[in-house]
Structure 1
Amino acid sequence: MSVDIEQIIKKSREVCASAGTKLTHKRKNVLMVLLASATPLSAYEIVDRYKAQFQESLPVMSVYRMLDFLIQEKLVHKLETAGQYMSCAHIACDHQHETPQFLICDRCGSVKEVGIKKRIIEELERSIQSTGFMLAQKQLELHGVCEHCQSHPA
């Protein structure tokens, strides 16, 4: 990615300001922990890395509240199937984002965020609604094996 961390933080502050909220110092630091990670992290892993990176302890309940805020502002995603969090891959983008889909490698734990075309999500919603089921969340998490792990068998 050619965007540096300072550009991402600047854009994150702008996103929050446009929503009438604030990216506080600790929220920014939690986001930075996620940005620095190659794989999604649990709240407890974030607490550990936060302490190591910033020499400051955070209660896990505070981290959960900060993550809820960052999710609300669409700066972070929660992977429901894993109970882990990751920064949005498109924070610094200026284009309209599609519904996220996460490709999760079951071997190395890497996650790739890709967008799903609006028409595909609309078709999926129609299909689901025709069964009488009400969709609560549009996020898709697909498990498999990434290209790297396929080319380097265990």
Structure 2
Amino acid sequence: METKKQNKGGRPALDDPAKHRHVLYLNERDNARFLAQWEQSGVESKSRFIAARIFGEPFRVVKVDKKAVDYCTRLTEFYAQYRGVAVNYNQIVKALHSNFSEKKALAFLYKLEKATQELKEINAQVIALTNECKEQWLPK
């Protein structure tokens, strides 16, 4: 007969558990330097960060430019609004032709055309600024 292993519960045991603990004391200046380097590394655990430094693993620095992230977020929002205008454009033209006389519809279409040209110029400026931002700030 086979004997069944009884489940003890809890997490499964690791093959090579980390059992050894070392204590390190730092003064205020060194602690500030340590915390700055740890934050730049992007590693979540301080102990893994220390072990990586001791054993010579490469030091990875992750920097997030808040302004570039904000710019990309706002650009995405603007593009969504721009697409919304494009979707509504056809509906406006149909509504003008069905609800107004030919003369009034043409007058409104003329105003719509002017607003569309302004929107096109703004879009060209946004594209130019985005390309400038990409050239200047994004890594190559």
How does the TM-score come out when normalised to structure 2?
0.21
* Structure possessing the higher radius of gyration over alpha carbons: 2
Query: With CA pairs under 8 Å and 6+ residues apart, which has the higher RCO, 1 or 2?
Result: 1
Which one has the bigger helix percentage? 2
